[in-house]
């Protein structure tokens, strides 16, 4: 069976932490937070295993945006792209959200950037 | 979203100290500073990340640095060696794109637009750059990547040390929004204090402020601040052959008698613009920004500026907005003593006109003909209709 990609809340060191008061926290009140990407294979988005995704939690995603969606539990965090009809299409090997499921999937934030550090640097 | 431009900001981590560590690997992992001796009132020129963790930073008196960290290792530094290392780094960067703008010995902008057929995807190329610099020179490079210089610069600061941060196209404003205003290049302590005083602590709050509010408080810089806080920047990356020596070209004149004659001021503005753009053309330069300086009889002086979407060396394109600006500046019932024009935002090139040029506007050939007549017979040999109002020289 192929290993599935997943996202995990992460903290970052260096200047990124200083700029944001070092508090990229895993709650809804933060404006930007980091997720580390764990994926076994390369994907069309150019992401790599171990990349840190910077996610803005402002709930104003638009068509074409890459978003993180979830159903409320951190184990359900996944990537998708907002389509023209504002539906979510799965990307980078993540599962598609099932809209009529309970709890209802919702957008956790918009991916604004990607941080990749040299090996061995946190 | 498609990337319109692709600009990298490459910045070497703790460059002077890193070079010292290459020369003497025993310094690695220790709190190291480069700078003058404390007994000679020396200051810190550069500090390793280990030294920075003690609160040591550049420009700090060396004696204070030693008080903060008694185990500090100080090296005097060799600027010849740093220049050599810098040249080697820039040689590597130049293999990825011809458009490299060196900002300092350890910092550069690279325009990667259109290079993907040659060097692959920009982010892969950036990764390769970092790897080559690391493997060949044992130096660490941090890179910020986005669609423009401004956001790439913030991104590289964000990614330090040893990071590569890519801001996704279209997400510039969202990326900047939570960052403190001081992270915006050009916002110094004075502007920061002012912004905090207006309860604008983050770039997001600045970006959402009405332009007129910012213009009232900061002049034309206010509008620029707002645009930049939204991650908007069209400044080109200029390779060495396009970078002019001059920062600006200007002309100004104090009148023999103070005047309140609008027609005279308009004619004078036209003559000053004409002289300034002629100097641009002689140096094969183009300008984007025009600053008008006005001094009244009571010596109160104001400067206002405007920026064109495209650089030009053609006074015909500058005259109308310049006259409008002059009109807006004349807010007092006092006579005018001095009028000046300064052209800045210079880059190398020749004006090419617009595909949608207005029928009947003076074109390149007319400007060249006027220049050659003035070169041969003097500045006053050919004048515009308005300039006859000016006294003969």
- Residue by residue, DSSP assigns A9-62 as EE---HHHHHHTTT---SSTT-SEEEEEEE-SS--TT---TTPEEEEE--S---
Task: Let me know: does B143 contact B164? Beta carbons within 8 Å.
Answer: yes
User: Is A64 close to B170, i.e. CB distance below 8 A?
Assistant: yes
> How many CB atoms are located within 10 Å of the residue B86 CB?
21
Average pLDDT over residues B97-120: 92
Work out the angle at residue B287's Cα, subtended by the Cα atoms of residues B284 and B293, and round it to the nearest 5 degrees.
125
Closest CA–CA distance from residue A83 to any residue of chain B (Å): 12
CA distance A106 to B45: 50
Nearest CA in chain B to A121: B162
Is any Cβ of chain A less than 8 angstroms from the Cβ of B325?
no
A6-98+106-114 CATH, one of 2.30.30, 3.30.2010, 2.10.109, 3.30.2320: 2.10.109
Does position A30 have pLDDT exceeding 80, yes or no? no
Q: How confident is the model at residue A28 (pLDDT cuts 50, 70, 90)?
A: very low
Q: Domain coordinates of chain A in residue numbers? A: 6-98+106-114
Average pLDDT over residues A30-42: 78
What confidence score (pLDDT) does residue B335 get? 92
Tens of pLDDT, residue by residue over B119-137, are 888 999 999 999 999 999 9
CA distance B116 to B282: 36
Closest CA–CA distance from residue B183 to any residue of chain A (Å): 8
Does position A103 have pLDDT exceeding 60, yes or no? yes
Neighboring chain A residues of B130 at a CB cutoff of 8 Å: 118
Closest CA–CA distance from residue B4 to any residue of chain A (Å): 15
Interface confidence, given as ipTM, is 0.88
What confidence score (pLDDT) does residue B386 get? 66
Is any Cβ of chain A less than 8 angstroms from the Cβ of B165?
yes
User: Is B162 close to A113, i.e. CB distance below 8 A?
Assistant: no
User: Is B171 close to A113, i.e. CB distance below 8 A?
Assistant: yes
Tokens linked to B56: 């040591």
- Chain B interface mutation, best of A12, A23, A42, A54, highest count of B Cβ atoms under 10 Å: A54
> Chain A residues with CB-CB distance to B under 8 A?
14-16, 19-20, 31-32, 46, 54, 56, 58, 64-66, 110-118, 121
Closest CA to B250 of B303, B323, B300: B303
What confidence score (pLDDT) does residue B331 get? 85
Q: Which domains does chain B have, with CATH numbers?
A: 15-79 (3.40.1170.60), 174-229 (1.10.150.20), 244-389 (3.30.1490.100)
Does position A23 have pLDDT exceeding 50, yes or no? no
Task: Let me know: does B139 contact B177? Beta carbons within 8 Å.
Answer: no
Task: Let me know: does A112 contact B171? Beta carbons within 8 Å.
Answer: yes
What confidence score (pLDDT) does residue B143 get? 97
User: Is B162 close to A64, i.e. CB distance below 8 A?
Assistant: no
Q: Active-site residue numbers of B?
A: 107
What confidence score (pLDDT) does residue B40 get? 79
How many residues are present in chain B? 393
Percentage of chain B lying above the pLDDT 90 cut: 50
Nearest CA in chain A to B123: A46
Q: How confident is the model at residue B8 (pLDDT cuts 50, 70, 90)?
A: very high
Least CB–CB distance from B163: residue in A31, A66, A117: A117
What confidence score (pLDDT) does residue B374 get? 81
User: Is B171 close to A15, i.e. CB distance below 8 A?
Assistant: no
What confidence score (pLDDT) does residue A119 get? 65
- Chain A interface mutation, best of B4, B140, B159, B203, highest count of A Cβ atoms under 10 Å: B159
User: Is A114 close to B177, i.e. CB distance below 8 A?
Assistant: no
CA distance B381 to B296: 31
Is any Cβ of chain A less than 8 angstroms from the Cβ of B169?
no
Give the list of residues 6+ apart from residue A40 with CB closer than 8 angstroms, or none.
Answer: A2, A3, A5, A49
Average pLDDT, chain B: 88
Q: Which of A15-24, A80-89, B347-356 has the lowest mean pLDDT?
A: A15-24
Closest CA to B45 of B27, B55, B57, B31: B57
Average pLDDT over residues A5-25: 67
CA distance B212 to B177: 20
Task: Let me know: does B16 contact B58? Beta carbons within 8 Å.
Answer: no
What confidence score (pLDDT) does residue B48 get? 93
Average pLDDT over residues B189-208: 91
User: Is A16 close to B163, i.e. CB distance below 8 A?
Assistant: yes
Least CB–CB distance from A115: residue in B165, B174, B179: B165
Q: How confident is the model at residue A2 (pLDDT cuts 50, 70, 90)?
A: low
What confidence score (pLDDT) does residue B377 get? 78
Average pLDDT over residues A48-70: 87
Residue B325's alpha-carbon distances to B37, B261, B265, B293, B381, in angstroms, are 53, 16, 12, 10, 28
Neighboring chain A residues of B162 at a CB cutoff of 8 Å: 117-118, 121
- Chain A interface mutation, best of B52, B144, B163, highest count of A Cβ atoms under 10 Å: B163
Percentage of chain B lying above the pLDDT 70 cut: 94
Neighboring chain B residues of A15 at a CB cutoff of 8 Å: 157-161
Q: Exposed/middle/buried for B389, CB within 10 Å: 0-12, 13-18, 19+? A: middle
Q: How confident is the model at residue B66 (pLDDT cuts 50, 70, 90)?
A: very high
Q: Say which residue, B43 or B65, is predicted with more confidence.
A: B65
Neighboring chain A residues of B148 at a CB cutoff of 8 Å: none
Average pLDDT, chain A: 78
User: Is B124 close to A46, i.e. CB distance below 8 A?
Assistant: yes
Residue A10 bridge partners (DSSP): A34
DSSP one-letter string for B310-334: EEE--HHHHHHHHHHHHHHH--SSS
Closest CA to A65 of A11, A10, A109: A109
Q: Exposed/middle/buried for B356, CB within 10 Å: 0-12, 13-18, 19+? A: exposed
Selected residues 269-308 of chain B with any CB under 8 Å from a CB in chain A: none
Q: In which region does residue B156 sit, left (phi positive, over 0), alpha (psi from -120 to 50) or beta (all else)?
A: alpha
Nearest CA in chain A to B163: A117
Does position B366 have pLDDT exceeding 90, yes or no? no
Closest CA–CA distance from residue B258 to any residue of chain A (Å): 52
User: Is B1 close to A56, i.e. CB distance below 8 A?
Assistant: no
CB contacts < 8 A, A to B, total 83
Tens of pLDDT, residue by residue over B260-317, are 999 899 999 998 998 899 888 888 889 989 999 999 888 888 889 888 878 888 888 8
Neighboring chain A residues of B144 at a CB cutoff of 8 Å: none
Closest CA–CA distance from residue B179 to any residue of chain A (Å): 6
């Amino acid at each position: 069976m192929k290993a599935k990609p997943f996202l995990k809340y992460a903290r970052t060191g260096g200047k990124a932490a200083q700029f944001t008061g070092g508090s990229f926290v895993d709650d809804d009140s933060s404006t930007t937070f980091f997720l580390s990407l764990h994926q076994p294979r390369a994907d069309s988005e150019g992401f790599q295993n171990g990349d840190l995704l910077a996610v803005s939690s402002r709930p104003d995603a638009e068509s074409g945006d890459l978003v993180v969606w979830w159903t409320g539990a951190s184990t359900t965090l996944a990537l998708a792209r907002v389509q023209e009809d504002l539906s979510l299409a799965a990307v980078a090997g993540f599962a598609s959200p099932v809209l009529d499921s309970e709890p209802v999937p919702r957008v956790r934030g918009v991916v604004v950037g990607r941080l990749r550090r040299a090996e061995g640097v946190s | 979203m498609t990337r319109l431009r692709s600009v990298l900001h490459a910045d070497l981590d703790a460059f002077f100290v890193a070079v010292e560590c290459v020369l003497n690997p025993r310094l690695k992992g220790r709190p190291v500073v480069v700078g003058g001796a404390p007994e000679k009132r020396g200051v810190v020129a550069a500090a390793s990340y280990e030294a920075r963790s003690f609160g040591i930073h550049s420009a700090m008196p060396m004696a204070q640095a030693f008080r903060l960290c008694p185990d500090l290792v100080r090296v005097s530094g060799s600027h010849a060696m740093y220049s050599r290392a810098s040249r080697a780094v820039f040689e590597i960067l130049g293999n990825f794109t011809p458009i490299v703008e060196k900002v300092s010995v350890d910092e550069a902008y690279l325009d990667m637009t259109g290079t993907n057929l040659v060097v692959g995807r920009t982010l892969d190329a950036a990764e390769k750059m970092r790897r080559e610099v690391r493997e060949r020179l044992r130096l660490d490079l941090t890179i910020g990547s986005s669609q423009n210089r401004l956001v790439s610069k913030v991104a590289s600061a964000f990614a330090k040390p040893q990071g590569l941060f890519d801001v996704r196209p279209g997400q510039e404003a969202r990326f900047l929004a939570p960052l403190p205003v001081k992270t915006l290049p050009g916002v110094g302590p004075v502007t920061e204090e002012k912004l905090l005083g207006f309860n604008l602590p983050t770039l997001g709050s600045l970006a959402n402020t009405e332009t007129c509010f910012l213009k009232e408080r900061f002049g034309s810089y206010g509008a620029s601040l707002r645009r930049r806080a939204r991650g908007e920047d069209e400044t080109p990356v200029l390779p060495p052959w396009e970078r002019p020596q001059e920062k600006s070209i200007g002309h100004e004149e104090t009148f023999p008698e103070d005047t309140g004659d609008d027609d005279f001021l308009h004619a004078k503005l036209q003559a000053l613009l004409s002289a300034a753009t002629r100097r641009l053309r002689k140096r094969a330069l183009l300008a984007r920004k025009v600053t008008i300086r006005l001094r009244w009889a009571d010596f109160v002086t104001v400067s206002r500026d405007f920026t064109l979407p495209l650089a030009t060396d053609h006074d015909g394109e500058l005259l109308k907005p310049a006259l409008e600006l002059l009109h807006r500046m004349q807010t007092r019932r006092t006579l005018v003593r001095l009028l000046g024009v300064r052209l800045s935002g210079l880059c190398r090139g020749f004006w090419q006109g617009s595909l949608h040029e207005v029928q009947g506007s003076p074109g390149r050939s007319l400007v060249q003909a006027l220049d050659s007549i003035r070169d041969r017979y003097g500045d006053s040999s050919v004048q515009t209709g308005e300039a006859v109002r000016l006294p003969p020289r």
